Amino acid sequence: MTTFTRFKLRNGTAAEWTAADPVLLVGEIGVETDTRRYKIGDGSTAWAGLSYYVDGVAIRGQCSKMTDGTIDIIAQGSYISTGLTATLDTDTAYGMVLGTDDAFGLRNTSGGTKLFRIYGSIDATDGNNSTLGVKLAKNGTAIDESECRAFTGSGAQEAKLVTSWMVELDDGDEVSLLIANHSNTTDITLKRGRVIAVEVRA
């Protein structure tokens, strides 16, 4: 059963009720506790999402891959998904799961729209003297402002690609990593990588 709490702002009293869509009087705020929503009382204002923290910690998630994986490059300079599967750190995840459209990413399952600080990194190799690039993506669409590039140098040298950006995710939205080879069409070997998302407090 859904529980609603009504607060009257002027006299400080509160009442409990159950309803599918309670109508509030002007000067009242309604809070739906189990789905973390609120509305301002004017008879028509829609529900809005509340920020939600567990033990003072924001919605968060992190995933990683610490073993080699091959990324198939088709076109020089074209950003693509890694095509690899990361492992979710279930000990620290809350309100986020591993991506379903891109398994090297994170999906918001908190029930609301949240602003996240996203961090992503890839260590990768691609032979001699190659420039590699990384970008964040929201629902598979590149976030161009998050682009970072690094140089491999020698054949054994790993490019250290790191990016960070703030991204708003609706419930069900995903954030993931895209990678590109800006020097040629040689496949990239991912050595290790990770994606971290933490809700930004209001």
Give per-residue pLDDT as tens, 154-176: 767 899 999 999 999 999 999 99
Residues 25 and 94 occupy one common structural domain: no
Coil, strand or helix at 199: strand
Residues 71 and 149 occupy one common structural domain: yes
Give per-residue pLDDT as tens, 119-138: 999 999 988 889 999 999 99
Task: Decide if pLDDT at 36 tops 60.
Answer: no
Residues 44 and 89 occupy one common structural domain: no
pTM here is: 0.74
pLDDT at 153: 80
Considering the chain, what percentage of its residues have pLDDT values greater than 70?
A: 70
Strands of the chain (E only): list them: 4-8, 14-17, 28-32, 37-40, 48-49, 60-65, 69-71, 80-81, 87-88, 96-98, 105-108, 114-125, 131-138, 141-151, 159-169, 174-181, 188-199
Q: Is residue 116 part of a domain?
A: yes
- Region 9-28: mean pLDDT is 53
pLDDT at 94: 93
Residues 88 and 8 occupy one common structural domain: no
pLDDT at 88: 98
Give per-residue pLDDT as tens, 64-102: 999 999 999 999 999 999 999 999 999 999 999 999 999
Q: Is residue 55 part of a domain?
A: no
Residues 70 and 11 occupy one common structural domain: no
Residues 121 and 195 occupy one common structural domain: yes
